Amino acid sequence: MNSSVTGCKRIHSIEVEQLQDSEEVQHSFLLIKGRLEPKCSAAKQLKATLELRDESLEQLTQLSSAGEFKLLFDLHKGERERQEEPAVTSRACLLQLRSCSGSRLIRFTYKPRSSPYRVQPLYIVCQDEKEEEQEQEQEKEKNARSDHSARCSLIDLNLRLVQCIYAHKLHAAGFANRTFTLNGPCRLFRSQLTTEETLAKTEDELWQHFAGEILSCAQWGQQLHLKFVAFVACTRYDGAAVAASGDLSYANIRRHLRGHAALGGGGLALFGSAHFYSWPRAFAEIGDCVRSAERVDVARLPDESNYRRTYGGVYASTLGAVCHELGHCFDLGHTLNGVMGQGFDYLNRRTHYVFVLTASGDTKRLACDDAEAEAEAEADSH
Ligand SMILES: [Zn+2]
Ligand SMILES: [Zn+2]
């Protein structure tokens, strides 16, 4: 990477989007997008070193043919390993980027966001699903984590990524350092429904039911500053029937998903768990999951990738759905671009729905666009 070795004589600079010197970062995943200028014929990689409290994290990333790069750092890494709560005090961080003759130093502070308006993740299990302790006993390996807690940590990891995506999109829209606050780690929520009852309900019925259960429960019901993002544990997919029918359309795949939802509005964004197969379980897997070109075997797993039919496509589409539906909980309407955009590929194929609160205090379901038309009509009438 030394210019005298590679033969490149150019004087490079490293441009970085968004992150400014002496900025305060409030979300725990730091996404950095940038570019080596001017284009270098020799350098293929960029080396990034992040000094974070008492440790130094190093990443080597590939440059695209245009000299662009992306990096993702976990600013909360040390605490997480020591299972500490995120510190409320700010701490100094130093990021150094190097490629060919280019070098860039950015000093910033990391201070976890603390807003009274928070999002609480829940993992909804049915009343007849196994207890965690029973499961642990059945496992051969004593230290193996139970399915439930593994799912909860998968949800936590990916919601931190959603938080980071929000920060970026809002920054790009001119709102620096805005995102939502996660109230805490994902919690198990035991529903009064049996698995059978859950699987028999439509997406709307699931939303109505779980919203009601969460609001009426002692632990969460009175916390008016909380919004919930919840995942149904027992989602089932009948891939054999899809394969046998020969109809691989999304409509048909959707018909063979039960206990599934992708619906947000009011205080709850509700999702199924059938697409978790494409989601990363650890920070180190994020890049591989995003780029994964592994083909989805529709006879076994539900595809949801805007016809890309890859694990990476399913991950992008379903995490995109979480961003989008959560946006409806924050009362965001549709825009041309970004997570609320019509161009966002989650929205390409179909009308989706939101729940709105009517004047009488009931909820009713509206197609997204109708909901906006109605809100506009409402606004116009005042
Ligand atoms: Zn160069
Ligand atoms: Zn929408």
What spacing in Å lies between the alpha carbon of 146 and ligand 2's midpoint? 34
User: Within this chain, do residues 227 and 365 fall inside the same structural domain, yes or no?
Assistant: yes
pLDDT tens profile 146-172: 689 999 999 999 999 998 888 887 777
Please give the ipTM for the structure prediction. Answer: 0.84
What spacing in Å lies between the alpha carbon of 326 and ligand 2's midpoint? 9
The band of 339, judged by pLDDT with boundaries at 50, 70 and 90, is: low
What spacing in Å lies between the alpha carbon of 6 and ligand 1's midpoint? 8
Q: How far apart are CA 162 and CA 156, in angstroms?
A: 10
Q: How far apart are CA 167 and CA 177, in angstroms?
A: 6
DSSP state of 18: S
User: Within this chain, do residues 91 and 51 fall inside the same structural domain, yes or no?
Assistant: yes
The total number of structural domains in the chain stands at 2
User: Within this chain, do residues 59 and 90 fall inside the same structural domain, yes or no?
Assistant: yes
Q: How far apart are CA 60 and CA 70, in angstroms?
A: 10
Tell me: pLDDT of 182 over 70: yes
Minimum-distance ligand to the CA of 38? Answer: 1
The band of 274, judged by pLDDT with boundaries at 50, 70 and 90, is: very high
Strands 257-258, 236-237: pairing kind: antiparallel
What is residue 280's predicted lDDT score, i.e. its pLDDT?
96
User: Within this chain, do residues 167 and 34 fall inside the same structural domain, yes or no?
Assistant: no
What is the maximum span of the chain, computed from C-alpha positions, in angstroms? 74
User: Within this chain, do residues 101 and 129 fall inside the same structural domain, yes or no?
Assistant: no
CATH number for the domain that contains residue 91: 2.60.40.10
Tell me: pLDDT of 357 over 50: no
Tell me: pLDDT of 345 over 60: no
What spacing in Å lies between the alpha carbon of 165 and ligand 2's midpoint? 17
Cβ contact 303:309 at 8 Å: yes
| Angstrom distances, CA of residue 188 to CA of 83, 134, 282 | 19, 15, 20
Minimum-distance ligand to the CA of 339? Answer: 2
Minimum-distance ligand to the CA of 338? Answer: 2
What spacing in Å lies between the alpha carbon of 8 and ligand 1's midpoint? 5
What is residue 81's predicted lDDT score, i.e. its pLDDT?
55
Q: Is the Cα dihedral 370, 373, 374, 375 positive or negative?
A: positive
Structure tokens at 113: 């966001």
The domain of 331 spans 118-135+144-381
User: Within this chain, do residues 243 and 189 fall inside the same structural domain, yes or no?
Assistant: yes
What is residue 143's predicted lDDT score, i.e. its pLDDT?
41
User: Within this chain, do residues 322 and 377 fall inside the same structural domain, yes or no?
Assistant: yes
What spacing in Å lies between the alpha carbon of 297 and ligand 2's midpoint? 28
The secondary structure of 39-52 as a DSSP string is --SS--EEEEEEEE
**How many CA atoms, within 13 angstroms, populate the side-chain half-sphere of residue 6?**
15
Q: How far apart are CA 2 and CA 42, in angstroms?
A: 10
Tell me: pLDDT of 137 over 80: no
| Angstrom distances, CA of residue 316 to CA of 75, 127, 145, 275 | 23, 31, 26, 11
What spacing in Å lies between the alpha carbon of 68 and ligand 2's midpoint? 31
Q: N- to C-terminal Cα distance for the chain?
A: 63
What is residue 321's predicted lDDT score, i.e. its pLDDT?
87
User: Within this chain, do residues 95 and 193 fall inside the same structural domain, yes or no?
Assistant: no
Minimum-distance ligand to the CA of 372? Answer: 2
pLDDT tens profile 67-108: 999 999 998 876 655 555 555 678 889 999 999 999 999 999
User: Within this chain, do residues 47 and 180 fall inside the same structural domain, yes or no?
Assistant: no
- Percent over 70 (pLDDT), the chain: 77
The band of 377, judged by pLDDT with boundaries at 50, 70 and 90, is: very low
User: Within this chain, do residues 105 and 158 fall inside the same structural domain, yes or no?
Assistant: no
User: Within this chain, do residues 82 and 160 fall inside the same structural domain, yes or no?
Assistant: no
Cβ contact 125:149 at 8 Å: no
Cβ contact 261:273 at 8 Å: no
Tell me: pLDDT of 366 over 60: no
6's CB contacts (< 8 A; 6+ apart) are 42, 43, 100
User: Within this chain, do residues 73 and 126 fall inside the same structural domain, yes or no?
Assistant: no
What spacing in Å lies between the alpha carbon of 328 and ligand 2's midpoint? 6
Q: What is the mean pLDDT of the chain?
A: 82
